[in-house]
Structures are given as C-alpha cells and as structure tokens.
Amino acid sequence: MNKLILIGNGFDLAHGLQTSYSAFAEKNIKNPVIIEFHKLVKELGSEIPFLDDEGKVKDITWYSFEENIERLSSWMFHKNFDDNLTQKDYDEIDKNMFQYNKIFEELSDLLFYYLENEFSSKKIQVLDRVKKEITEDTYIISFNYTDTIKMYTSNYNFIHGSIQDDKKIILGFARGDVSDLSTNNYIKYWKEVLKEKLNFLRFLNNNNYENIEELMEEFNPHLMCMFSGKGGYQFPIKKDEEGEFYDTSSASKPILDYAESTGFFPAVDKSNYGDVEEIVIMGHGLESDIHYINSIFEKSTSLKRVKLFTYDGESSKEIERKKNLLKKMSKLNDIKVIYY
C-alpha cells in the first residue's frame, strides 16, 4: 500500500449519520443508563459538563466522553484509597468498580443498538471527494463501528470493532497509571484490554472454533493478568533443571494456539507502513487514539504527503489544532486541508 486513510466519527457525520455522542445521548435522554451516567459525571465535578442548565445534552465529542470515563474510573478507584487499606477496603473498592462497570457495559450495549439502528435506517450516499481518494493501493483503518466504509472498498480494518462483522465494539479509555494496584474491575475498559479481547475473538472466528462464549470466559483471567502489574498469561510456573517455564497443560487448545501466535504477550500491530507515501485523515479528532496514530506515523518512513478532510462549520481553531498535531507526527510542514 502507498496510501493510508484513517477514518473517525466525522466520516460518518459527513455521510449524514447521527453518530455524535450528543445525538446518541439526546435520543436516549430518558434512558436510566444515560441518566445514571450523567449523574456520575456531575458528581465527579467534570470540567466538561454533559448537560446545560436546562437539562439538554451539550455538544460533547467522543474524546470528551472518553476523558470523563477515564476520570470516573480513576475517581472510583482512588476515592477511598490510602496506604493503609485492608482487604475489606479493597473488596469495597472492587464492589464500587463492579457497579460502575455495569453502568458502562449497559452504556456500551445501548450505543451498539443505537448505531445499528442508525446505520440500517439511513440511505447513505457515496461522496465523490471520498471516492476519488480511495485507489487500489489504499488501505483504510476505521476507528468507527459502522459499515460506511464498505461502500468504497473492501480493504479495511475496523480497529475498534464492527457492529456488523464482530457484533462487538470497543468503547473505553486509555490505560490508567495504577496498573500494579489494579483490580480486574478497574482495567476492564482500558482500550488496550478491549482490543486484545477483540483480537482473540477474531482469532476464534477466523479459525472456526466452537464454544466461543466458553473460550472467551476462559481467556478472561489471562487477559486481566496481561495488563496487571504481573503481566503475561495466568499459567502456573514450574521449574526444572533448565529453569522456569509456563505449565500450559491445563489450557485449552485455542487459548494455547492464540498465546503462541502472539508470543504470550498482547497482540501488536505488525502491519508494514514503510511504503506509505500518503496519509489521509477523514473525520478523526486524533486525540483519543493519539498513541496508536503516532506509532503509525513513526512506521511510515516513506511519508511524503498528509491530507486532512474537514467539513463546513468546523472551527478554524479545531482545524489548526489537528494540523499542528499532524505536522508534529509527520514531521512535514505542509498539511493539505480538503472539504468533503
């Protein structure tokens, strides 16, 4: 591939889909899950309130949503934390995190069904500007959950899951800063954890394994262990005259096959971006996945051009913010701005 396109929520918005957080929340404003979530945000004292004085949903980006999710999770974990915690205290924190995760899980499910209905109920038109950008040598990384990109190409990867292909979406936040102390309920919605879970699910589906629900359940302790202070898989460690080793005798074959395929570590992006000469950003705000996107730019050693798609109404301040980020990551001074 010599061209790489990264698409985010703005791509769906440009195609007439109501996929913003504000549209989703406004549509479900009376849903108990949304009410409870906004209540938690208010209790947290968020710098970015989700509701105005009249109780209407403000124009909130998904990045702001993820920021608040991360702050809520950290707040839940830390609010009773000190250096003299007893096991009872840990259990109480874990209980609180479990209740919070339940709300977040219901929120994720609500979003899934909202997007599924939004996509299936709209007649989406192909945009000429987008069509012209996609050639045979173009590869798409979609951070969206909908299938809009399928109208243009079959050469794509849904990095956060697909409502159609995976029946699962990644709605989470960046890794926290207390991994050595983390309980499973704290790290459950880290994006890295959810991506690894999605990778395993795709591995099972691609290899036609059966009993997927049972295998996902079996994988969960290993998943949590990978992102805890311990790291690695949760296999017992044995010793012999040659040293220490994992005892994998009790592991099911799919678990072991997947672990061996990734070197017993979380899966990493092995894509080769060395031939990429052009990167195009369509509708991604950059901030929410900045580390992943930056790693792509670092691997794009032949990069010559960067384009940024925008829409009528996007503020000049926001466009400049994105351009400055792209200049920094690409080490190029000229970022071409294109309107849908």
Mean pLDDT over residues 136-164, rounded?
A: 95
279 falls within a domain? no
Indicate the pLDDT class of residue 177, thresholds 50, 70 and 90: low
More confident site: 5 or 135: 5
Cα four-point dihedral sign 56, 59, 62, 67: negative
Token pair, residue 215, equals 């295998």
pLDDT digits (tens, 9 = 90+) for 24-55: 999 999 999 988 888 877 776 655 566 776 77
Provide the percentage of residues in the chain whose pLDDT is more than 90. Answer: 52
Instruction: Give the whole-angstrom CA distance, residue 167 versus residue 312.
Output: 33
20 falls within a domain? yes
pLDDT digits (tens, 9 = 90+) for 195-253: 999 999 999 999 999 999 999 999 999 998 888 767 788 888 788 777 777 788 888 99
253 falls within a domain? yes
* Secondary structure class of 142 (helix, strand, coil): strand
301 falls within a domain? no
Q: Provide the pLDDT for residue 78.
A: 61
Contact (CB, 8 A) for 193 and 208: no
| pTM of the predicted protein model | 0.85
The structural domain count of the chain equals 1
Instruction: Give the whole-angstrom CA distance, residue 109 versus residue 302.
Output: 41
Task: Write phi, then psi, for 167 (nearest 5 degrees).
Answer: 55, 25
Q: Provide the pLDDT for residue 49.
A: 62
Q: Provide the pLDDT for residue 85.
A: 60
pLDDT of residue 14 exceeding 70? yes
Query: Which amino acid appears at position 247 of this protein?
Result: D
308 falls within a domain? no
pLDDT of residue 180 exceeding 60? no
Helix (H) or strand (E) holding 257: helix 253-261
* Secondary structure class of 18 (helix, strand, coil): coil
Indicate the pLDDT class of residue 179, thresholds 50, 70 and 90: very low
CA-nearest of 69, 94, 82, 75 to 184 is 94
Indicate the pLDDT class of residue 86, thresholds 50, 70 and 90: low
- From 53-62, 177-186, 269-278, 303-312, the region with the lowest mean pLDDT: 177-186
Mean pLDDT taken over the chain: 86
Domain range holding 93? 3-262
309 falls within a domain? no
Mean pLDDT over residues 159-175, rounded?
A: 86
More confident site: 130 or 74: 130
Mean pLDDT over residues 177-185, rounded?
A: 55
Q: Provide the pLDDT for residue 238.
A: 81
Neighbours of 202 (CB within 10 A): 16
* Secondary structure class of 260 (helix, strand, coil): helix
215 falls within a domain? yes
Indicate the pLDDT class of residue 334, thresholds 50, 70 and 90: very high
10 falls within a domain? yes
- From 119-133, 177-191, 273-287, the region with the lowest mean pLDDT: 177-191
